[in-house]
C-alpha cells in the first residue's frame, strides 16, 4: 500500500514541476524593472516603438523593444502593454 502512496506523490510532484516549467516559473515584472529597461532605449527606439503602437502593430513594437533593451519576451510584452494603455487609454 505504501508503494502506491509514494508513486502517487512522485506523479503529483512531476505534474507540478511540468506545470510550473510550462508557465515559465517567473514572477510578474515590476514597474521599477520596466522603468530601468525604458532608460536603455534611445530616442530613435522610443519613436519607432511609439509609431508601431500607434499603428496597432504590437508584435513589431515588442520586437523592437526586445532588440533595444535585451529584455525577454514576457518582460517586453508587459512593457508594450503598459505603453499601449498609456497611448490608447
The count of C-alpha atoms lying within 13 angstroms of the C-alpha of 40, restricted to the half-sphere facing its C-beta, is 14
Is residue 38's pLDDT more than 90?
Answer: no
Alpha-carbon distances, residue 45 vs 3, 27, 50, 79, 81 (angstroms) = 59, 27, 8, 14, 16
Is residue 41's pLDDT more than 80?
Answer: yes
Q: What are the helix (H) ranges across the chain?
A: 2-23, 31-38, 43-54, 58-69, 73-88
The residue range of the domain holding 9 is 2-88
Is residue 26's pLDDT more than 60?
Answer: no
In whole angstroms, give the CA distance from residue 55 to residue 36. 25
Domain count, the chain: 1
Is residue 24's pLDDT more than 60?
Answer: no
Q: What is the pTM of this model?
A: 0.64
**For 26-50, what is the mean pLDDT?**
84
pLDDT (0 to 100) of residue 35: 84
Helices 58-69 and 31-38 cross at an angle (nearest 10°) of 80
Amino acid at each position: 500500500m505504501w508503494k502506491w502512496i509514494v508513486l502517487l506523490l512522485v506523479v503529483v510532484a512531476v505534474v507540478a514541476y511540468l506545470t510550473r516549467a510550462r508557465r515559465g516559473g517567473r514572477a510578474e515584472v515590476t514597474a521599477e524593472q520596466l522603468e530601468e529597461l525604458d532608460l536603455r532605449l534611445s530616442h530613435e527606439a522610443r519613436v519607432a516603438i511609439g509609431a508601431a503602437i500607434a499603428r496597432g502593430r504590437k508584435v513589431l513594437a515588442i520586437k523592437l523593444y526586445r532588440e533595444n533593451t535585451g529584455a525577454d519576451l514576457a518582460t517586453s510584452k508587459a512593457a508594450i502593454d503598459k505603453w499601449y494603455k498609456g497611448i490608447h487609454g
